[in-house]
Structure 1
Amino acid sequence: MELKVGDKIPNFKAKDSNGTDFDSQILVGVKPFVIYFYPKDNTPGCTAQACSFRDQYEDFKDLGAEVIGVSSDSVTSHQEFTRQYKLPFILLSDSDQKIKKLFGVPSRVFGLVPGRVTYVVDKNGVIQMVFDSILAAKHMLKAMETIKKLVL
């Protein structure tokens, strides 16, 4: 079942691009955040999406928000992707797709292509926006617009 606006996010844990354990509970109750699911490191759309979040990351931080990217790529792949594109935010490895399933992120093209969905979560862990679109360039803009509404 896909999570929707008004739902509380599930607790989840994963390895980040440094191989460190990440627990979603470190953010809930502390700050709003963006969590975006994307298909694959180093593909044109996913790279453009990651770089758009990178280019506006300081604006998200200034608004008190965190950004988290999630794909099924390995920690090693995330390390290379982060290094190559100087990504300052958290990338989580969801190699077993447990987080994707918890959120109910759909697959595309007969289930062969992982979905591209962005969630904005308020500091209480409640989803305030869901943006499900293959248009990678629009995700950061929708997320920023929602974060601004939450904090300004």
Structure 2
Amino acid sequence: MTVETGKKAPDFSIEATNGEKVKLSDYKGKNVILYFYPKDMTPGCTTQACDFRDQHENFSELDTVILGVSPDPLSKHEKFIEKHGLPFLLLVDEDHKVAELYDVWKLKKNFGKEYMGIERSTFIIDKEGQLVKEWRKVKVKGHVEEALAYIKENLN
């Protein structure tokens, strides 16, 4: 299955920080922000998570759920949530199957080293389960506000 705007978003079942398996299809009837980020507790990922936290109420008012996905284990996600007061679920994608499903598991280069990792990306899925917007290679500054504005203008 390929990820394509205007098509049904790929469903998945994955462990979440609420101790349950979460499926994307569980959220039918709500808009979903599915955001992929490289690693808990790093500066860019912390800024992004806190930006989503700070706008959480605004997203909720627009009937929108936020789900964060990274390859970190559950214990690290739980510490991240506790340290920063994150009011949304983080999903455990240690085997990067969901990242691969959404084509965000990429070859990356950093300080001359090559490795596989998450390409910071955000997907907006509407109440019917359709992928309506995607951002790839996300720059953190201003991104959450841009996503909120998109939902206000297009899915309200």
TM-score, normalised with respect to structure 1: 0.92
SS in structure 2 opposite 1:87?
Answer: coil
| Number of aligned positions between the proteins | 151
Kindly indicate whether residue 125 of structure 2 is the aligned counterpart of residue 139 of structure 1.
no
Q: Look at both structures and tell me which one has the larger radius of gyration over its CA atoms.
A: 2
Which amino acid letter does the alignment assign opposite residue 92 of structure 2?
A: S
Q: Report the RMSD for the aligned CA atoms in angstroms.
A: 1.6
Summarize the alignment of residues 45-84 of structure 1 with structure 2, pairs less than 5 Å apart: 45-84=44-83
Higher alpha-carbon deviation: 65-74 or 6-15: 6-15
Q: 1:23 Cα shift? A: 1.4
Check the 8 A contact 1:34/1:119 in 2, yes or no: yes
Summarize the alignment of residues 44-123 of structure 1 with structure 2, pairs less than 5 Å apart: 44-107=43-106, 108-109=108-109, 110-123=114-127
Q: Distance in 2 between matches of 1:134 and 1:119?
A: 11
Q: Distance in 2 between matches of 1:24 and 1:87?
A: 19
Q: 1:10 Cα shift? A: 1.1
Q: Quick one: structure 1 residues 11 and 112, their matched pair in 2 at CA, closer, same or farther if it must change by over 3 Å?
A: closer
Could you tell me which runs of 5 or more consecutive residues in structure 2 were left unpaired when the two chains were aligned: none
Q: Distance in 2 between matches of 1:150 and 1:11?
A: 22
Kindly indicate whether residue 150 of structure 2 is the aligned counterpart of residue 150 of structure 1.
no
Q: Distance in 2 between matches of 1:2 and 1:119?
A: 13
Could you tell me which runs of 5 or more consecutive residues in structure 1 were left unpaired when the two chains were aligned: none
Q: Which has the higher strand share?
A: 2
Check the 8 A contact 2:3/2:10 in 1, yes or no: no
Percent identity over the alignment? Answer: 36
Check the 8 A contact 2:7/2:131 in 1, yes or no: yes
Q: 1:145 Cα shift? A: 1.6
SS in structure 1 opposite 2:60?
Answer: helix
Check the 8 A contact 2:99/2:118 in 1, yes or no: no
